[in-house]
Structure 1
Amino acid sequence: MTAAAPFFRPDLLARYDAHGPRYTSYPTAVQFTEAFDPAHYREAARKAKANADLSLYFHIPFCDTVCFYCGCNKIATKNRAHARPYLDRMKRELALQDALFDTSRPVTQLHWGGGTPTFLSHDEMAELMSATREHFNLVADQRAEYSIEVDPREASPATIALLRELGFNRLSLGVQDFDERVQRAVNRIQPREMTETVLDAARRNGFKSVSVDLIYGLPHQSVESFSRTLDAIIDLKPDRVSVFGYAHMPSLFKMQRQIDESALPSPAVRLAILERVIARMCDAGYVYIGMDHFALPGDELARAFEAGTLQRNFQGYSTRADCDLIGIGASSIGKIGDVYAQNARELADYTAAIDAGELAITRGVRLCADDELRRDVIMRLMCGGELRFDDVARTHGIEFPTAFADELARLAPMANDGLIDLSHDAIRVLPAGRMLVRNVASVFDRYLGQASLRRFSRTI
């Protein structure tokens, strides 16, 4: 029996494979509405808890080249001059957000995503971090989780040293696959040596954690080819590894039309690759966090998982308690108290709002009491793998078996299949349910019947 055996049940994975949310939020972004505007956001900021920590997210959309699989909000350009006006507007947006909050509140979490954040020059990155410190209270390194997504093709050892000097202490490296044929098919040429150089520089400069992102389901991948990539990653020994299933949705993401669909691995091959991933990572000593995340036992993410303190936000799994999140930049999403708010996705719309001296928020949602209850239930399942009815009852003043009688009935087949343990007082996600925790959580999502499931990626 392999280390994957408790988690990997091909019969169940095939039966439950479906489209569904990843639940980086609840309600999901599909429920955001344009009726939510900057005035709603300002009201939420006015009511925000004064003693809660803050989290900052910066979206930097520019990429030098486009990867065909990518579904992120990005702008492919080789003209680095585009960064300057965008940087100036993010600085003005920081000032607008500063005016809404008690900025003595500690910022314990910060993340730069994209796009490619290192599209900015060294001086521009230093300028943005300096502006952030002018407006917000960034805490000392030992309390902070300041992370940045790095494309190894865009980052020299000098870049990594600068990022550490600026205060970043976690890196996320995009790799996807080391196989040259796969790289050519998705327009991302990145030899292993590039990744190894960046990872080595991160270790020399004292980064607390380095994570690597892989994707299975890309064109020309096979069990054998992806096994070679896994062996290389295990040899490099990053602290965290995420292995995402490729979501081929060319109707939503036009660049994916560049991918030859006939070269995509079959569902059976995808499952076989996934089985190999689980087995190889577990055999190598990584802790299987759930879904598609792994971490070394000493990593803070693994410790949070074992302690039951894992959190989930728009960047995925996190070790920090629930913070108010301020989004900066085009398409970025914030969460303040009981609201989610998203900036304009299109650069022109974002530019027009900031140039007018206004927040760029164009849509969002205010949670009702039922939303907050269901968000709590879903996040307990996604992060802790356990839901005790008494805990929910104390927090929300409801009788769980009565309030969720229909949902508990719908969970019964999952209990019969061994995905969960369903008792009179709790729901516990079993090892075979870890990969399908999105399916378990979605039972409590009251919006799924109102939204097209095709807008979400497949759960496997």
Structure 2
Amino acid sequence: MLQLHDHDGSHYLTYPPPERYSAEVGPEALEQALRERGGARPLALHVHLPFCRQACRFCASQRVPSRDSRQAEPYLSRLDREMVLVSRLLSESPPVERLHWGGGAPAFLSLDQMGDLFDRLDARFGLSGARGRDFSIEIDPREADVFTLRHLQALGFNRLSLGVQEFDLRVQRAVNRVQPRVLTESLVDEAERLGFRSLNLDLIVGLPLQTPRGFGDTLEQVIAMAPAHITLHRYAHLPQRYRPQQEIRVEELPDAATRLAILGEARGRLQAAGYVHIGLGHFARRDDSLALALSEGRLARDLQGYTSHPPGDQLGLGVAAISRVGATLTRNARQLEEYEAALDASRLPVAGGLRPGPEQRLRAAAMEALACRRELDLTALSREYGCNAGVLLADDLQRLAPFCEAGLLERQGERLRLTPDGAWGLTRLLAAFDPGADPTP
């Protein structure tokens, strides 16, 4: 069973995944989707800020290494140009209640640059000041201090995600991310003092020199900080795709048995500490909004992960950012030069996209049902999409049969339910609805 857990589900945040987008679906597709969207439909914003000062060897993000925040100025100017082009296509919308800054390391920007970017977003789209808003930002503790958090809180951010990865010094050195625990602790303490509503700490399983005991010690230290969320990511070694990973020594990577032992240790410690397994490596305290949304059947997902907010459209801004507007999926140019060239020509920087067909939308809905509600009602799905879901998904359901036999799924007629063990193997179950993927361990 533990073999089911050794898999990363981030590529199923949207289906079909971005790797299958076509260059034939370009800027015109996003323009049309933006013009046609209903004005009352919620719009979430994701801003991709690719800069960082220090290259972590495990990095799989689209990043721009730099030492000087002034080098971000041309990018911020292009980002504003993208906002202008997009905002012209939007009808009047309610204030934006969901905003996320990711990267890279958004705290690479100076405080003035952060303030200016926030003001421009407000001017172009109208940011909500409501108490229930979710304005989140990813923070590398090496790039931030208490003054950074105070500035972010003053701007309106109320959610933080801190990248811990590992506290074991041997592992930190192996991935070029030496980060004393005191850096993280000081930010956690300040975030609590400032009243940030939610704090997430990210960890990575599968890094070089990692051991079950060492990771267990890291997890105990993280649990002692009592964050609302803890996220376990799986390291995927793809040096041919991500250049920083070429510096990782393959012989230092933990083997499959060690990774599984680390995950087993993590499962036991998190359950003992009272964290609820939301799914796909996400854990939350029982009093957190995600845990409550799961128990009340209103959990949802967007391109950043799980959310307690109703699903809506999501607009990605910046290099390599992904948008989902209506049924249209698009991704911006992945290379900075291509992104800049498009905006300099006053074009949206979309490099590819997809308009999912009826069967793809049906499969995506089936995945969302399992990922968010832990059950799939084929009768309800048929009614919603005006089809016989059991017939159209017959091959997919057949691929799920071994998981039913293993006790990861329970099927009663037209209804399938995840068991607690099945929630740990959720990515493999979702892969059953992805033709061409191999869902078996």
Among 131, 137, 145, which residue is 1:156 paired with? 145
Are 1:285 and 1:297, in contact at CA under 8 Å, matched by a contact in 2?
yes
Among 91, 94, 104, which residue is 2:83 paired with? 94
1:332 aligns with 2:326: no
Rounded to whole Å, the distance in 2 between the matches of 1:15 and 1:187 is 30
Are 1:103 and 1:137, in contact at CA under 8 Å, matched by a contact in 2?
no
Which residue of 1 is the match for residue 363 of structure 2? 374
With over 3 angstroms needed to count, the CA separation of the structure-2 counterparts of 1:48 and 1:295, relative to structure 1, is: same
Among 216, 222, 225, which residue is 2:211 paired with? 222
Rounded to whole Å, the distance in 2 between the matches of 1:378 and 1:94 is 32
1:59 aligns with 2:48: yes
Are 2:6 and 2:234, in contact at CA under 8 Å, matched by a contact in 1?
no
Identity of aligned residues (%): 39
With over 3 angstroms needed to count, the CA separation of the structure-2 counterparts of 1:95 and 1:278, relative to structure 1, is: same
Rounded to whole Å, the distance in 2 between the matches of 1:222 and 1:360 is 43
The alpha-carbon deviation at position 47 of structure 1 amounts to: 1.4
| 1:172-183 superposed matches below 5 A | 172-183=161-172
Rounded to whole Å, the distance in 2 between the matches of 1:395 and 1:210 is 36
SS at match of 1:272: helix
Rounded to whole Å, the distance in 1 between the matches of 2:265 and 2:297 is 27
Among 256, 265, 283, which residue is 1:276 paired with? 265
Larger mean Cα displacement after TM superposition, 402-411 or 243-252: 402-411
| 1:383-422 superposed matches below 5 A | 383-422=372-411
Among 245, 248, 259, which residue is 1:259 paired with? 248
Deviation per residue, 1:195-248 (Å, 9 max, x gap): 011111111111100000000111111111111101110111111000111111
Q: Which amino acid aligns with 1:228?
A: D
Which residue of 2 is the match for residue 355 of structure 1? 344
TM-score of the pair, normalised by structure 1 = 0.93
Rounded to whole Å, the distance in 2 between the matches of 1:314 and 1:186 is 27
Are 1:344 and 1:360, in contact at CA under 8 Å, matched by a contact in 2?
yes
Rounded to whole Å, the distance in 1 between the matches of 2:113 and 2:399 is 52
TM-score of the pair, normalised by structure 2 = 0.97
Which residue of 1 is the match for residue 295 of structure 2? 306
Rounded to whole Å, the distance in 1 between the matches of 2:181 and 2:8 is 33
The alpha-carbon deviation at position 18 of structure 1 amounts to: 6.5
Structure 1 gaps of 5+ residues are: 1-11
Q: Which amino acid aligns with 1:372?
A: R
Rounded to whole Å, the distance in 2 between the matches of 1:391 and 1:142 is 34
1:35 aligns with 2:10: no
SS at match of 1:210: strand
The alpha-carbon deviation at position 459 of structure 1 amounts to: 9.9
With over 3 angstroms needed to count, the CA separation of the structure-2 counterparts of 1:18 and 1:199, relative to structure 1, is: closer
Rounded to whole Å, the distance in 1 between the matches of 2:369 and 2:8 is 21
Are 1:311 and 1:383, in contact at CA under 8 Å, matched by a contact in 2?
yes
Q: Which amino acid aligns with 1:287?
A: V
Structure 2 gaps of 5+ residues are: none
Among 200, 205, 216, which residue is 1:211 paired with? 200
With over 3 angstroms needed to count, the CA separation of the structure-2 counterparts of 1:362 and 1:271, relative to structure 1, is: same
With over 3 angstroms needed to count, the CA separation of the structure-2 counterparts of 1:141 and 1:200, relative to structure 1, is: farther
Give the CA RMSD over aligned residues: 1.7
